[in-house]
């Protein structure tokens, strides 16, 4: 029986660093993804009322969803007088997604040599 290749500790550490459950839990909801998309397309930060038109959810639900995204660090909330305006934190989101993709790719290269093609 062939022995499975051992996963290098650096791969495990890199994956654990980039597998941030709060980010992926926040992104795992269709409404939150819709809200995130609306914010990503906006030219400026939006209020709950401005962003709510995209998803057919009551304002209190939109506010809760935005709170989950904010708590995960995916969006930022900026107080402007009595209003709170939301925008995507591109740096955090990009780091989470690109970092995980890079970690998976690095581990795959270290653990699973690509099979040779047959001619």
Query: pTM to 2 decimals?
Result: 0.76
The secondary structure element, H or E, covering residue 100 is helix 90-111
CA 28 centroid distance within chain: 9
pLDDT tens digits along 61-91: 999 999 999 999 999 999 989 999 999 999 9
Q: Check residue 15 and report its DSSP letter.
A: H
What domains, with CATH codes, occur in the chain?
A: 21-95 (1.10.10.10)
Exposure b/e, 40-73, CB count within 10 A at least 16 = b: eeeeebbebebbbebbeeeeeebbebbebbbebb
Q: Check residue 33 and report its DSSP letter.
A: H
83 and 66 Cβ atoms separated by less than 8 Å: no
pLDDT tens digits along 27-42: 999 999 999 999 999 9
Phi-psi group of 64: left, alpha or beta (phi > 0 → left; psi -120 to 50 → alpha; rest → beta): alpha
Identify which has the larger pLDDT, 22 or 17.
22
Residue 2 is predicted with a pLDDT of: 59
């Amino acid at each position: 029986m062939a022995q499975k290749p051992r996963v290098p500790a650096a791969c495990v550490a890199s994956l654990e660093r980039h597998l941030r459950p709060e980010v992926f839990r926040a992104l795992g909801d269709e409404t939150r993804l819709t809200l995130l998309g609306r914010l990503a397309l906006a030219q400026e930060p939006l209020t709950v009322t401005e962003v709510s038109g995209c998803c057919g959810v009551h304002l209190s639900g939109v506010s809760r969803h935005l709170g989950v995204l904010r708590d995960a660090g995916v969006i930022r909330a900026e107080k402007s007088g009595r209003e709170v305006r939301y925008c995507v934190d591109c740096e955090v989101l990009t780091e989470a997604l690109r970092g995980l993709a890079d970690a998976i790719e690095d581990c795959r290269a270290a653990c699973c040599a690509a099979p040779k093609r047959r001619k």
